[in-house]
Amino acid sequence: MPQPAVLFLVGPTGSGKSALAVRLAKKINGEIISCDSMLVYKQMNIGTAKLSMKERQGVKHHLISIISPHETFSVNDFRKRALRAITEITNRGRVPIVAGGSGLYVRSLIHGLAEQPKGGEAVHQQLSDDLKRKGLGELYGQLQKIDPIRADEILPGDERRILRALEIFYLTKQRPSQWRRKRESLKDLGYRWVIFGLDPDRGELYEKINARVLAMMKKGFLAEVKRLSKGRLSQTALQAIGYHEMLAYLKGQLVLKSAIERTQQRTRQLAKKQWIWFRKEKGLQWIALKGNSPLSDAEKKIIREWQQKKENVK
């Protein structure tokens, strides 16, 4: 009997992964495991472009709206929950479809996750002091010199990951990208997998991203942020693009026009980072989104490839 297989659908933000995953799930008897670091949060709906229940069309989704925005959520948390969901889905005789753009989450599932050292209080305090004195930009510059590979995987404004990468270096005297002790991969756990990436035209995607941010504002994104601002958002929740900018506007630190433009810019930067990240993923098959019905064409191609490869995937 063949080993169960997992289908991954990845690509840059705004490329249509969520909608396409629903279409695929209905065709191949699948359930969707969200691979998005921000969709895990309850109450963060508009700014994360979370699918409504209607848009999910009755397809079962996992790892969406599972924790409070006041709680932290790590790649370790994701991996544990995602592996549990994969087991449950395959036990039901269905296909796990892992869909999203969080590259590290995808890598943690496929290849396993590096065991990282526990934090050191003295090092952590020193880095916190350096952050206050020097600013995040200078610390990111330090990381670029110490470990350009890891720095390239982190957005310049991602305070938590920048500090953690530097902490690993100062604790172990090894570059974070060289920390190689791994947990079990999907293959080690008895699963096969195939991965597809959506590849839209870059100019068209950037236009879509800009328009999506404006649409979010019309849907009430600012009101959503106002409600959330009544409590203390976790450090990981604050990494969500747009929320930080809208909070800055509410605090009088930015005018609304600048907050919107920064949200658009950061989202475009994220899309570029995701493209770069997934270009390095071995075995990924890119699906160009072209023509008048790009998602329909992509759906047909993926289903055709899935049927051909599911008996021989990795």
Residue 16 among known ligand-binding residues:
yes
Residue 14 among known ligand-binding residues:
yes
Residue 157 among known ligand-binding residues:
no
Cβ contacts of 88 within 8 Å, gap of 6 or more? none
Residue 242 among known ligand-binding residues:
no
Residue 12 among known ligand-binding residues:
yes
Residue 137 among known ligand-binding residues:
no
Q: Taking the CA of residue 238 as centre, how many other CA atoms within 13 Å lie in the half-sphere pointing to its CB?
A: 15
Tokens of 175: 């570059």
For the chain, the DSSP string reads: -PPPEEEEEE-STTSSHHHHHHHHHHHHTEEEEE--TTTTBTT--TTTTPPPHHHHTT--EESSS-B-TTS---HHHHHHHHHHHHHHHHHTT-EEEEE---HHHHHHHHH--B--PPP-HHHHHHHHHHHHHH-HHHHHHHHHHH-HHHHHTS-TT-HHHHHHHHHHHHHHSS-GGG---B---TTTTT-EEEEEEEEE-HHHHHHHHHHHHHHHHHHTHHHHHHHHTTS---TTGGGSTTHHHHHHHHTTSS-HHHHHHHHHHHHHHHHHHHHHHHHT-TT-EEEEE-SS-HHHHHHHHHHHHHHHHTTT--
Residue 11 among known ligand-binding residues:
yes
Closest to 82 in 3D by CA, of 68, 70, 96: 96
DSSP bridge pairs for 30: 95
- Judge contact between 30 and 7, C-beta under 8 A: yes
Residue 58 among known ligand-binding residues:
no
Binding site residue list for ATP: 11-18
Binding site residue list: 11-18
Binding site residue list for substrate: 13-18
